[in-house]
Amino acid sequence: MPITPVDKIWMDGELVDWADARVHVLSHGVHYGSGVFEGIRCYETRSGPAVWHLEEHLKRLFRSAKLYHMEIPFSQEALADAVRETIRANGLTSCYIRPLVFRGYGEMGVNPLNAPVNVTIAVWPWGAYLGEQAIEHGVRVKVSSWKRNDQNSLPSAAKATGQYINGVLAKVESLKAGYDEAILLNQAGYITDGSGENVFAVRGGVLCTPPISAGCLDGITRATVMEMAAELGYQVREQNLTRTDLYNADEAFFTGTAAEITPIRELDDRVIGEGTRGPTTKELQGLFFSAVKGEVERYAAFLTPVA
């Protein structure tokens, strides 16, 4: 998806012009994928722009950094302020937010420990991740021939830049075969997640999603949707899912910050349910999109005002 440039990007404590937000080609992270990042969304609410689950996302950023022995030279509070400052500086009412912590310039070789840790925050307007049509009509998905990187090779608990090269293989395979997105299996053959989304199946009014131990990202939207579904009276289970469980589901959908809640209408050329957005998916979308816009009182605490 092409990026829509805005005015300013936050780099190591200051706002710089969009065009000047550059790194050296010999930066460690460019060569070895030694970085961690987040994807967050800011939504327009009646009381102004607000960031959805800012604290949870920043906590995960710090957990990811810890896993790779990266000391972030800012506190979580300072980064929360920087996110809000960056949105204000660009005058955006809703946007995607991309904090990035990476090993910078100064050292070559796999050992990252002596390379500096740089921190950037970029924001830009980002519409529906899998296309405007996808939210209503769903996407066509392919189970990838590429397996999700094993937990003991690259821990999925960390949202590290380098591990996304696994998703890149899967995503490109699915696009070249004419699908919209890929789902990756783990080494045991169970569903993990999409290239950038968690996966849910609905069958007989029960929502199922793979456990984190399957090797999926500990998605923040996943947790929100599980909470919302329980509140709406659905049974929610974390259990291993096979591809057949998805073929035979009444409904299936993706969750993610970028993808929000996107129905899956076909998997490997099998139509799922009615082949369009199902009633449970629609109900969850309804609550989710109201909550992120500040229209549901009990979820208002998850919104941090930008002003």
CA distance 161 to 131: 24
Q: Of 257, 280, 281, 285, which lies in the binding site for ligand PPE, with binding defined by CB under 6 A?
A: 257
Residue closer to ligand PPE, measured from CB, 115 or 179: 179
| Cα 307 to chain centroid, rounded | 24
CA distance 120 to 61: 12
CB of 111 to ligand PPE, least distance (A): 27
Residue closer to ligand PPE, measured from CB, 45 or 64: 64
Site for ligand PPE contains 220 (CB under 6 A): yes
User: For residue 121, which of 70, 93, 157, 84 has the smallest C-alpha distance?
Assistant: 84
Q: Of 149, 186, 221, 285, which lies in the binding site for ligand PPE, with binding defined by CB under 6 A?
A: 221
Closest residue to ligand PPE, based on beta-carbon distance = 39
Under DSSP, is residue 84 helix (H, G, I), strand (E, B) or coil? helix
C-beta of residue 70 within 8 angstroms of C-beta of residue 117: yes
User: x/- contact string, 177-216, with ligand PPE (CB under 6 A)?
Assistant: ----------------x--xxx-----------------x
Site for ligand PPE contains 174 (CB under 6 A): no
Stretch that binds ligand PPE, among 100-108, 131-139, 207-215, 250-258 (CB under 6 A): 250-258
159 assigned to active site:
yes
Place of tokens 């992120």: 292
**Could you tell me whether strands 139-143 and 35-37 are parallel, antiparallel, or unpaired per DSSP bridges?**
unpaired
> Which one of 8, 142, 159, 171 is the catalytic residue?
159
Q: Which two tokens stand for residue 277?
A: 């957005």
Q: 262 — phi, psi (to 5°)?
A: -120, 120
Strands (E), 104-205: 117-124, 139-143, 181-185, 191-194, 198-203
| Cα 255 to chain centroid, rounded | 8
Residue closer to ligand PPE, measured from CB, 197 or 251: 197
Residues from 3 through 62 that contact ligand PPE (CB under 6 A): 39
Instruction: Summarize as ranges the residues that interact with ligand PPE (CB under 6 A).
Output: 39, 167, 193, 196-198, 216-217, 219-222, 255-259
Active site residues: 159
